[in-house]
A and B are shown apart, each in its own frame.
Chain A
């Protein structure tokens, strides 16, 4: 009986979790006139017009392409930089290792608003404003530290004897690292990639500041539409739903490692 009550409470919580998203889905499947005209709990005049508009109008769909480009770039960069560094932190004691590890954390915790203005100036100076690489590089500020922390957590779970045996067997460091060690922590690499992808995908402030038109991501396009007059709720909702899709597609694969990722590799 107790167990049953517990699950009913949990069910209601999950309902609360899903209802706002359902509501947006509902809006996305109705025309704007319908939304403003009648209040309805489900799309009574079902239409895919909003989605068709997103997929055919370049001002909308280019936002997704831009976001995917810089997010992918950022994920690859973060992993490439973080893998060797995480290995160093998990295996070696060196001068200033603790301080360095802490410094990385402070960047993960830095308020993006603080860096906004100098970022705009810095990237203007090196002529990178409105390019994908600018946003990818800016997102490294919080994703590289995150990747180092998560990967270090996974690497510390692998006994050091494996490294020692490989070196005795005559493996060079790069050969050991790429052919033996990375396959051992591939789950960790996958989880790290997921988190880098996610935090880059959900970020708004840098992405909006560093892009104008050529590399403008969908999240920025959406905020600019909000401030414009004559708001199309259906279209906005359709875009909202589409931005959830990438995360929803891959969440299943990392479900058991989510806590570890959010705890910066410390659980």
Chain B
């Protein structure tokens, strides 16, 4: 669609600009301000330049949190994307089953994020949880299951929760992509005697490219920003084993009141996210073009 060229359209965008700028730019400038000062109290601050940035870039706990975050987001993608594709492929294509599946899939996505944590505490606790009691009654584990007992247990619980929570999103997107494939493609494949694998590899997967790009990027971004669920489930523990970037940042800023380092860290965090946002943006634009052209 050819667009009209008119700079007066800015008047329509101005309200959005003002309200988002109020919520985004002023706080961001405050963060920048903090990040170059050492603040002792109101009206008592010293300019320290890039000291906090240097401190943060060499902070081992930050590096640990960052690697933990990459590991977590990577695992999330490795599990959720294939699983989501499988679910989308298995979903019914017509009849009452379609609506029923869509609504069931959507339920975890509508639950407040810390309630997700609550659900999984109640579900996995070794004294009252179905999963906790169930797995301990099998007597397979050396140390009885308790997500606060061992880092590996905490990770398993967190991953189970994350996969439970967000795989439906991947499945929903893939399902939308699959539904956009014309029936004629499948008929042609049938005439050619194509195997189910060939249909998937040469028809379904290429047609899902757009939605899969969105799914991968959304899951990457959101898991990178994760806060409420691990906060409610493990609080970052045991030890620091599930302290992800956001949790570390909030601990730093509100727990220890290290404003300068926290602000410097925020900016680094924000820049990482900005980089991914840019990749995401380019992908989204191309997705739009690709779908319209075909």
Interface positions of A (Cβ within 8 A of B): 6-7, 9-10, 13-14, 16-21, 23-24, 27, 35-36, 39, 41, 77, 80-82, 84-85, 87-89, 91-95, 97, 100-102, 104-107, 109-119, 121-122, 137-138, 140-141, 144-145, 148, 156, 159-160, 198, 201-205, 219, 222-223, 226, 233, 236-237, 239-240, 243-244, 247-248, 251-252, 255-256, 258-260, 262-264, 266-267
CB closest chain-B residue, reference A260: B176
Within the complex, which residue of A84, A89, A97, A110 is in contact with B24, where a contact is CB–CB below 8 Å?
A110
B119 sits at the interface (CB 8 A)? yes
CB closest chain-A residue, reference B16: A85
Query: How many residues of B are in contact with the other chain, CB < 8 A?
Result: 99
A94 to B109, CA, bound (A): 36
12 A–B pairs (Cβ distance < 8 Å), ordered by A: A9-B90, A17-B164, A39-B128, A82-B16, A84-B13, A91-B3, A111-B269, A114-B249, A237-B118, A252-B103, A262-B172, A266-B288
- CB < 8 Å A-B pair total: 291
Contact A113–B26 (Cβ < 8 Å): no
Contacts of B9 in A (CB 8 A): 88, 91-92, 94, 97
B75 sits at the interface (CB 8 A)? no
Contacts of A201 in B (CB 8 A): 110, 112
B124 to chain A, nearest CB (A): 9
Contacts of A119 in B (CB 8 A): 27
Interface positions of B (Cβ within 8 A of A): 1-10, 12-13, 15-17, 19-20, 22-24, 26-28, 30-31, 34, 87, 90-92, 99, 101-115, 118-120, 122-123, 127-130, 133, 164, 168-169, 172-173, 175-177, 210-211, 214, 218, 221, 224-225, 227-228, 231-232, 245-246, 249-250, 253-254, 259, 262-263, 266-267, 269-270, 273-274, 276-278, 280-281, 284, 287-288, 291
B216 to chain A, nearest CB (A): 12
Contact B110–A198 (Cβ < 8 Å): yes
A252 to B102, CA, bound (A): 9
B235 to chain A, nearest CB (A): 9
Contact B281–A248 (Cβ < 8 Å): no
Contact B112–A255 (Cβ < 8 Å): no
Contact A109–B277 (Cβ < 8 Å): yes
Contact A95–B7 (Cβ < 8 Å): yes
Contact A23–B111 (Cβ < 8 Å): no
Contact B120–A20 (Cβ < 8 Å): yes
Q: Known: A107-B20, A116-B253, A140-B19. Is A17-B108 also a contact (CB below 8 A)?
A: yes
Contacts of A101 in B (CB 8 A): 281
Contact B122–A27 (Cβ < 8 Å): yes
Contact B270–A18 (Cβ < 8 Å): no
